[in-house]
């Protein structure tokens, strides 16, 4: 306890001194990044800045050369990808990885957290819980009416929402999305912003995006990455009027 009795809330994600070197090239270079609980953070920056690599490091797809990633009090740099998911980190890649020949319902059902064994009498109870969860998530991602439609019939935007729904089935405390509105129509972008606002209730969201209109509509705070380091951080307005940011990114 501090003398005043007030503690600044601990960030849910604390990245410190994070570096990854690919054959001597530091794609992420001594990075510090802190994300609060219930925060929507957007990471922007030029191509090759290291944005996707940061998500790869957090989810354990790429191993850090040095540095620390603390999530909810746990050190992620030493954990396996699967255990990082179980610890509450969900990550969406640039291309949706849904099962095209399965229905929306089946895609969501497949993502229901495993690990609990199914025994006899428990079976019915559990499947009822799964159905309830699937219906709840389908409503949240705006696909309640498409529940029994095959996934390949969905629009590009709806497929992206389905994949977000598949991540939500695990109820992650931190959801990471890499360019979620790429290739979407204007109305799909607006709907995705609304979706992110809904799903960020009670969890933190880390988004990489190039579409500045979209960034403006969702970001609590923006981090600008350049050459694997934080170039600027703050409100969208502050970042947009930062001459260094204009020079390396927004001016182009």
Cβ proximity to ligand ATP: between 19 and 103 the closer is 19
Residue 123 binding: pick among Mg ion, ligand ATP, none (C-beta 5-8 Å cut-off by kind): none
E strand intervals along the chain: 13-22, 25-35, 40-44, 66-71, 74-75, 89-92, 174-178, 204-208, 221-226, 229-234
Smallest gap, in angstroms, from Cβ of residue 47 to ligand ATP?
3
Alpha-carbon span 18 to 31, nearest angstrom: 5
Cβ proximity to ligand ATP: between 178 and 188 the closer is 178
Main-chain phi, psi angles of 153, to 5 degrees? -85, -5
Task: Print the binding letters for residues 190-219 with ligand ATP: x by CB under 6 A, - otherwise.
Answer: ------------------------------
Main-chain phi, psi angles of 199, to 5 degrees? -80, -10
81 makes contact with ligand ATP (CB under 6 A): no
Smallest gap, in angstroms, from Cβ of residue 51 to ligand ATP?
3
4 makes contact with ligand ATP (CB under 6 A): no
Cβ proximity to Mg ion: between 69 and 177 the closer is 177
Smallest gap, in angstroms, from Cβ of residue 47 to Mg ion?
7
Joined together, the tokens standing for residue 88 give 């509450």
3-class state of residue 251 by DSSP: coil
Q: For 201, what's the count of Cα atoms within 13 Å in the CB-facing half-sphere?
A: 6
Alpha-carbon span 61 to 55, nearest angstrom: 8
Smallest gap, in angstroms, from Cβ of residue 77 to Mg ion?
20
Cβ proximity to ligand ATP: between 50 and 165 the closer is 50
Count, residues near ligand ATP per rule CB under 6 A: 10
Residue 223 binding: pick among ligand ATP, Mg ion, none (C-beta 5-8 Å cut-off by kind): none
By C-alpha distance, which of 101, 129, 92 is closest to 208? 92
Joined together, the tokens standing for residue 216 give 């403006």
By C-alpha distance, which of 77, 53, 38, 13 is closest to 229? 53
3-class state of residue 221 by DSSP: strand
Residues 5-64 that bind ligand ATP (CB under 6 A): 22, 27, 45, 47-53
Which of these ranges, 2-10, 15-23, 43-51, 166-174, lies near Mg ion under the rule CB under 5 A?
A: 43-51
Cβ proximity to ligand ATP: between 47 and 97 the closer is 47
Residue 49 binding: pick among ligand ATP, Mg ion, none (C-beta 5-8 Å cut-off by kind): ligand ATP
52 makes contact with Mg ion (CB under 5 A): yes
H-only helix segments in 15-116: 51-58, 81-86, 104-110
Joined together, the tokens standing for residue 112 give 């229901």
Write out the residues near ligand ATP by the rule CB under 6 A: 22, 27, 45, 47-53
Write out the residues near Mg ion by the rule CB under 5 A: 51-52
């Amino acid at each position: 306890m501090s003398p005043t009795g007030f503690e600044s809330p601990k960030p849910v994600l604390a990245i410190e001194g994070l570096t990854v070197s690919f054959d001597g090239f530091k794609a992420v270079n001594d990075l510090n990044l802190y994300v609060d609980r219930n925060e929507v953070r957007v990471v922007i920056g030029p191509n090759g800045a290291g944005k996707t690599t940061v998500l790869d490091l957090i989810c354990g797809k790429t191993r850090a050369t040095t540095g620390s990633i603390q999530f909810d009090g746990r050190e992620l740099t030493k954990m396996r990808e699967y255990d990082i998911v179980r610890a509450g980190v969900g990550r969406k890649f640039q291309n949706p990885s849904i099962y095209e020949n399965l229905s929306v319902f089946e895609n969501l059902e497949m993502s229901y957290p495993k690990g609990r064994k199914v025994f006899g009498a428990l079976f019915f109870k559990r499947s009822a819980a799964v159905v309830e969860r699937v219906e709840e998530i389908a409503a949240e991602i705006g696909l309640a009416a498409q529940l029994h439609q095959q996934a390949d019939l969905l629009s590009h935007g709806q497929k992206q929402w389905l994949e977000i729904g598949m991540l939500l089935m695990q109820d992650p405390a931190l959801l990471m999305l890499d360019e979620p509105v790429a290739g979407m129509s204007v109305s799909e972008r607006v709907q995705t912003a609304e979706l992110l606002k809904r799903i960020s209730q009670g969890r933190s969201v880390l988004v990489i995006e190039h579409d500045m209109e979209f960034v403006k509509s969702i970001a609590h705070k923006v981090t600008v990455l350049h050459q694997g380091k934080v170039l600027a951080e703050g409100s969208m307005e502050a970042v947009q009027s930062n001459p260094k940011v204009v020079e390396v990114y927004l001016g182009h």
